Amino acid sequence: MKEKKHRKRKILPVLLGTVGVLALAGLIVVFGFRVRSVEVEGNEYYSDNSIISWINNDDLAVNSLYILIRYNLTSPEMPTAVERMEISLKNPWTVHVQVREKQMVGYVDYDDSYLYFDHEGTALVRRKKIVEGVPHVEGLAFDASGVVLGETLPVDDESIFEKITEVSRGLEKYKLAPDRLSCADGEIILTFGRIQILLGNDNYDERLAQIDPILEKLDENYPDTSGTLHLENFDGTSENIPFVPDNNE
């Protein structure tokens, strides 16, 4: 009996010590990792406040460790135009958010604003301002009443998004910045100032590679002349690329 009592006396302090350590650890986690500041980087389509509000829309987001685990070790829902958010802690109370946004390949006019979409035609975000470097797409027929952010734009021919994506990549590759991109009737048309360029519906990389040197020659040979450059039949072996000035020139 004495031996059992002696063991109990030894175990009790150990248990109390363990409980004390756990309680202290819990207090550190709760109060030591309480969020005081959130820094946001890499965002272009969303403001810092929008990203912070998204993260804070969670009662447990007052704790920096919770945010760290939630966004790095699970698959939480993201804003429609965000690929992922990488979280790190500068210190226990300062959260750093590295935003990786989805690539937008174009935007269309929509309800007195601009609707941006990705390579799959997914409606990502609606904005009042223009995002530089994203082409303005005209002639894309879609059911405006059926638009839902995060879902594919309701168009009749979804293959048009593959064409727009291919052209967008080519524009970036050759450092071209058209004023407008039109996709009427499934064919791509670019507008650079007074010059309209017909690209057709295939071989875009080959055709886009011709644009910059041709525009330079048109400035020399047809100054201040508007017209249409026909690249829709160019296949790399074409000797002539027709330029047709407008009738009123």
- C-alpha span between 132 and 114 (Å, rounded): 13
Contact 232, 199 (CB under 8 A): yes
pTM for the whole structure: 0.73
Cα–chain center distance at 184: 25
Tokens of 152: 């594919």
- C-alpha span between 45 and 7 (Å, rounded): 65
Please write the tens of the pLDDT for every residue from 139-174: 888 888 899 999 999 988 888 888 888 998 899 899
Tokens of 166: 């291919």
Rounded mean pLDDT of 164-187? 88
In which band, very low, low, confident or very high, does the pLDDT at 9 lie, cut at 50, 70 and 90?
Answer: low
In which band, very low, low, confident or very high, does the pLDDT at 27 lie, cut at 50, 70 and 90?
Answer: very low
